[in-house]
């Protein structure tokens, strides 16, 4: 084993697969392990029984301003140019999310909206965007009241559903991912490069991992093969002197020795319906008291043409309890959890050739482009 591979990488999502490719091209022999029976991590997609291409772990839309990341991934795929638009179902009303000047008209009516628009533009400028926190703490009483409206109708209940705690306990960096727009742009993301891979995410990963220096082993739990003791890493019981890149949960890697890191999970309910079009949008967010947060209809995102069938996905947030079949999806960012993560990070630092990388391992809210950028930089630094 130690003679055969220069690096063992755990997890075939973006973190692991990007590192594998870069190291392989640098002449390193890489063993890439994943416990799932497929590559792609949470970006994995496949056709369901009716032939509709679905994202098995929730809707994934690629978007970035990072040209280097875009160009790297574009070696393995073309993009369909899809620009994500989200409709909010806010009680009886339907309005664009992020909340923008059109949402303002739907919520307040023409006259009041025109007056608020003038105030918004005067305060923040036209075609700008602000955080909900900034609007709620505005100096102007009317803008503060608008901030409360948007908070209560778009953020408060959705956030409580998503995270299972009152919205006030959720880190503001999380809700700030969705801005308030002083303009008419109704796209969810405004990045320069956006889209879905023309074929599929899975095809992108297949091409990225198609390299003579990469060996992929699926259905393999790396925690059963890696051991850490006294500054040494053992793989299958033998000392391994190469690089180990780990993109799973750090508490699991170290036998939960400092306790379990909390994560948030989701229950996914897929439904295939005998119709062409269910909701007219890629995603509709349900921001009030429905038990689910959003419904995604994949055909609108992939552009796939299938008559008389469509598949939709309901997302029900859940706590992650490490039960059979449950998957941790989101780190829960609060000081206590970050402190616990820091202990595992320190433990990992005892092994200089070990790197925790990725959304679970680093306990970060990475988008696909950000983790790709991080993986590119890290793998190049090894070379």
Q: From CA 190, how far away is CA 196, in angstroms rounded?
A: 15
Binding residues among 208-247 for ligand FAD as defined by CB under 6 A: 221-223, 247
Plot region of 143 (φ>0 → left; ψ -120 to 50 → alpha; else → beta) = alpha
Q: Of 235 and 366, which CB lies nearer to ligand UDP in the complex structure?
A: 366
Options 179, 348, 367, 373; binder of ligand FAD; rule CB under 6 A: 367
35 near ligand FAD (CB under 6 A):
yes
Residue list 167-196, contact with ligand FAD (CB under 6 A): none
Tell me which residue has tokens 């959705």.
Answer: 158
The two three-digit tokens of residue 192, written as one number: 């320069």
Using the contact rule CB under 6 A, the part of the chain among 16-24, 172-180, 197-205, 229-237 near ligand UDP is 172-180
The two structure tokens encoding residue 202:
């899975």
65-94 residues near ligand UDP, rule: CB under 6 A: 88
Residue found by looking up tokens 């002449």 in the block: 27
Q: Are 213 and 30 in contact (CB under 8 A)?
A: yes
* Other CB atoms within 10 Å distance of the CB of residue 102: 16
Out of ligand UDP, ligand FAD, none, which partner does residue 162 contact, by CB within 5 to 8 A per kind? ligand UDP
**Interface with ligand UDP, residue 287, by CB under 6 A:** yes
- The residue count of the chain comes to 383
- Which residue is it, tokens 């929730």? 58
Which residue stretch of 30-38, 164-172, 232-240, 291-299 sits at the interface with ligand FAD (rule: CB under 6 A)? 30-38
Angle at 153 between CA 63 and CA 367, to 5 degrees: 20
Is residue 97 part of the contact set for ligand UDP (CB under 6 A)? yes
Query: Nearest distance from residue 58's CB to ligand FAD, in Å?
Result: 3
Choose between 52 and 266: whose C-beta lies nearer to ligand FAD. Answer: 266
- Does 154 contact ligand UDP by CB under 6 A? yes
What is the rounded distance in angstroms from the CA atom of residue 36 to the CA atom of residue 40? 10
Distance CA 80, CA 136 (A): 37
**42 touches, from ligand FAD, ligand UDP, none (C-beta below 5 to 8 Å by class):** ligand FAD
Alpha helices of 13-83 — where are they, by DSSP H? 14-25, 67-74
CB under 5 to 8 A by kind: which of ligand FAD, ligand UDP, none does 154 bind? ligand UDP
Q: How far is the CB of 175 from ligand UDP (least distance, A)?
A: 5
Q: Which two tokens stand for residue 352?
A: 């200089």
Residue with tokens 């989200």: 86
Residues in contact with ligand UDP by the rule CB under 6 A: 88, 97, 154-155, 158-159, 162, 170, 174-175, 177-178, 285, 287
Residues in contact with ligand FAD by the rule CB under 6 A: 10-16, 33-36, 41-43, 57-62, 221-223, 247-248, 266, 329, 358-360, 366-369, 371
């Amino acid at each position: 084993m130690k003679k055969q591979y220069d690096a063992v990488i755990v997890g075939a999502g973006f973190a692991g697969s990007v590192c594998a490719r870069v190291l392989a091209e640098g002449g390193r022999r890489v063993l890439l392990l994943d416990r799932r029976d497929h590559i792609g991590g949470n970006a994995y997609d496949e056709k369901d029984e009716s032939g509709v291409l679905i994202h098995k772990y929730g809707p994934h839309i690629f978007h970035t301003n990072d040209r280097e990341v875009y160009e790297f991934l574009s070696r393995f795929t073309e993009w369909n140019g899809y620009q994500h638009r989200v409709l909010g179902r806010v009680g009886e009303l339907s309005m664009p999310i992020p909340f923008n000047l059109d949402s303002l008209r739907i919520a307040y009516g023409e006259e009041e909206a025109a007056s608020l628009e003038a105030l918004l533009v005067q305060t923040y400028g036209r075609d700008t965007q602000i955080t909900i926190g900034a609007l709620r703490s505005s100096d102007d009483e009317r803008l503060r009241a608008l901030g409360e409206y948007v908070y209560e109708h778009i953020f408060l209940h959705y956030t409580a559903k998503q995270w299972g705690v009152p919205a006030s306990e959720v880190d503001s960096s999380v809700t700030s991912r969705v801005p308030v727009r002083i303009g008419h742009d109704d796209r969810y993301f405004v990045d320069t490069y956006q889209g879905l891979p023309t074929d599929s995410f899975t095809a992108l990963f297949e091409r990225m991992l198609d390299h003579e220096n990469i060996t992929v082993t699926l259905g393999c739990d790396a925690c059963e093969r890696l051991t850490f003791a006294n500054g040494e890493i053992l793989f299958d019981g033998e000392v391994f002197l190469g690089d180990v890149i780990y993109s799973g949960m750090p508490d699991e890697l170290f036998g939960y020795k400092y306790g379990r890191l909390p994560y948030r999970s989701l229950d996914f309910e897929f439904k295939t319906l005998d119709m062409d079009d269910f909701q007219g949008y890629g995603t509709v967010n349900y921001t009030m008291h429905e038990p689910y947060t959003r419904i995604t209809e994949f055909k609108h995102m992939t552009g796939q043409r299938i008559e008389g069938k469509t598949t939709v996905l309901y997302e029900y947030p859940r706590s992650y309890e490490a039960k059979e079949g449950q998957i941790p999806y989101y780190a829960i960012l609060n000081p206590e959890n970050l402190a616990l993560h820091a202990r595992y990070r320190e433990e990992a630092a005892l092994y200089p050739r070990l790197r925790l990388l990725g959304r679970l391992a680093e306990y970060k809210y990475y988008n696909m482009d950000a983790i790709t950028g991080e993986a590119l930089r890290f793998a190049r630094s090894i070379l």
